[in-house]
Amino acid sequence: MVSEDSNKSKAQVHNIRAAKTVAETVKSTLGPLGMDKMMVDGGGNVIVTNDGATILRELDVSHPGGKMIAEIAKTQESLCYDGTTSTVVLAGALLGNSESLFEKGLHPNVICRGYHEAAQMAVKYLDDEVTMESNDMLAYVARTAITGKTLESSIDTVSQLCVDAVTKAGGDAESVKVVSFPGGSIEDSYLYGGIIVNKDYVLESDEGDYSSILLINTGMDHEKSEDNVQVQMDAASYQSYKTGGNAALLSQSKNVTDALPSGGVVFVRDGVNDHVCAALKKAGIMVVRRVPESTMRALSRATGATIHQTPSDASEATHATVRRERHNDVWYLFVENDHESNEATLVLRGATTHTLDEVERGFDDALGVVSLVMRDGKVVVGGGNAYARMAMHLRTHASTIGGRAQMAIEAFADGLESIPATIAENAGHDPLDTILAMRHELMSGNVLAGPDVENGGVKMLDDVVEPAALVRQAVLSAAEVTNAILRIDDIIARRGVE
């Protein structure tokens, strides 16, 4: 297949093959009718997912070329939350197309230059012509991200929940708190106006509700000595040393009981000594210890409570509405947001932990894309429409570049079309027919044309939109990794660092 004097070195052959294999693995999951993958590790643990980034994270990729492809899925996920499979499929198609360019005698540098040029032209066209400004399509953006996932059965509930949650969090998907409880159905998921804490509670009383809370930023335990010092003491001085420590703890717990005369919940940032817990329990006070700092701050925002530095500062409790719920043998505390703040928690329900994990991944994608669009209001039509439009633009302009690089630009355009082609193929329709029909519609000015996954052929995707930033990043990342792989002409073993 490859002649001796070919431009393609051995390293390129291997890298391209490995990268294409990785892309093939995730390809069948792309789009609304994409399949799921079941992944099993040596210990028999099972993950069922449709999420490209998750598959690639769990996949045991050992070839360096394959690893480079798997890496871009991570980048895409961290920057845009979604579009990981598309990025990998696109990179796989670009690499595959480069093989035939090699065979036609193009030098890797010429291909890289052409691909680079093409990516720049494509995103410029995307920014200038394809991108639409819209702020009232957030629920549609969430829908597009969810289509094809476990969540699809409850798509209306879920997409509205995502929009509400991100809106509540001021547009920041990272700060949306998510808690999932097995049991129930996705339909039962809801946005709770408050904070949910599940730290190791100490009090297991039957009364569920509390109306006062206290926040303490340190712990209530014996001082830990800085070093591992050994001290020799006689029995009497040891007794008085111990009593001294205990007395300090007792006075701390008295502060807390004084502040919460009729019981309540004390949230403590650090550890709490078991004796102190017992004493507080007697006074009807629930102790929640080792509360993360972020939760502490959220509790303070939601209830207006001051975070007291030490137990001795804690003179006054704050009124709050706290109730307990038990899920899967774990107690959760629901602290209501009755102070004008943004604190809210998304409560997800799902039948089993396996489906619930996939539900969470679906929500992560949807929350992310909603926040992306909330930031800049820029969307494009999904279903591979934006990719096909960029491809059409590249084909009409490739000849302006001239020289052999234009062959690479045409190959890049073909690569872009692999996205709508794969979406159609995974839905059981002929990819080539779909692409030809799409080209025809786009040429005739029907700019919303995309694959009709239900009936085959093409339809106007007026309610399938995704963030413009996602498509932009997918094109740039795929082009970059392809070029990086094409530039490697040798793989050399490195000396291990040890």
Pairwise CA distance, residues 183 & 3, whole Å: 60
Pairwise CA distance, residues 252 & 270, whole Å: 14
Residue of 85, 131, 303, 434 with catalytic role: 85
Contacts of 235 by beta carbon, 8 Å cutoff, 6+ apart? none
> Considering only residues 377-406, where is the footprint of ligand ADP by CB under 6 A?
382-384
Interface with ligand ADP includes 86 (CB under 6 A)?
A: yes
State the nearest-atom distance from the C-beta of 406 to Mg ion, in Å. 33
Contacts of 429 by beta carbon, 8 Å cutoff, 6+ apart? 451, 453, 456, 457
State the nearest-atom distance from the C-beta of 380 to Mg ion, in Å. 14
414 is catalytic: no
Interface with Mg ion (CB under 5 A), residue total 1
Contact code string over 125-144 relative to ligand ADP, x by CB under 6 A: -------------------x
- Contact of residue 65 among Mg ion, ligand ADP, none (CB under 5-8 Å per partner type): none
The residue among 213, 195, 208 whose CA lies nearest residue 320 is: 213
Interface with Mg ion includes 82 (CB under 5 A)?
A: yes
Q: What are phi and psi of 310, to 5 degrees?
A: -130, 165
Q: Taking a C-beta distance cutoff of 8 angstroms, is the pair 465, 141 a contact?
A: yes
Ranges of H-type helices in 260-321: 274-282, 293-303
Interface with Mg ion includes 364 (CB under 5 A)?
A: no
310 is catalytic: no
Interface with ligand ADP includes 83 (CB under 6 A)?
A: yes
Residue 105 gets the label, from left (phi > 0), alpha (psi -120 to 50) or beta, of left
Interface with ligand ADP includes 359 (CB under 6 A)?
A: no
Helix (H) or strand (E) holding 461, with range, is none
85 is catalytic: yes
The residue with its CB nearest to ligand ADP is 382
Both tokens of residue 84?
């990981």
Q: Give bridge partners of residue 177 from the DSSP assignment.
A: 345
Interface with ligand ADP includes 85 (CB under 6 A)?
A: yes
Residue 165 or 416: the one with the smaller Cβ distance to ligand ADP is 416
State the nearest-atom distance from the C-beta of 149 to ligand ADP, in Å. 7
Contact code string over 34-63 relative to ligand ADP, x by CB under 6 A: x-----------------x-----------
Q: What are phi and psi of 307, to 5 degrees?
A: -90, 110
Residue of 365, 414, 434, 452 with catalytic role: 365
Residue of 25, 29, 84, 295 with catalytic role: 84
Pairwise CA distance, residues 12 & 372, whole Å: 36
Residue of 25, 29, 51, 422 with catalytic role: 51
Residue 144 or 482: the one with the smaller Cβ distance to Mg ion is 144
365 is catalytic: yes
Interface with ligand ADP includes 65 (CB under 6 A)?
A: no
Sign of CA dihedral 145, 151, 155, 158: negative
CA-based max dimension of the chain:
97
- Contact of residue 150 among ligand ADP, Mg ion, none (CB under 5-8 Å per partner type): none
State the nearest-atom distance from the C-beta of 83 to ligand ADP, in Å. 4
Q: What are phi and psi of 424, to 5 degrees?
A: -70, -45
Residue 145 or 280: the one with the smaller Cβ distance to ligand ADP is 145
DSSP state of 215: E
Interface with ligand ADP includes 84 (CB under 6 A)?
A: yes
Binding-site member from 165, 287, 372, 423 for ligand ADP (CB under 6 A): 423
- Strand 177-182 relative to strand 345-350, pairing: parallel
CB atoms within 10 A of CB 369: 29
Pairwise CA distance, residues 489 & 12, whole Å: 6
Binding-site member from 7, 29, 154, 273 for ligand ADP (CB under 6 A): 29
Catalytic residue numbers, as ranges: 51, 84-85, 365
Residues that bind ligand ADP (CB under 6 A): 29-32, 34, 52, 82-86, 144, 147-148, 382-384, 423, 450-451, 453, 461, 464, 466
Residues that bind Mg ion (CB under 5 A): 82
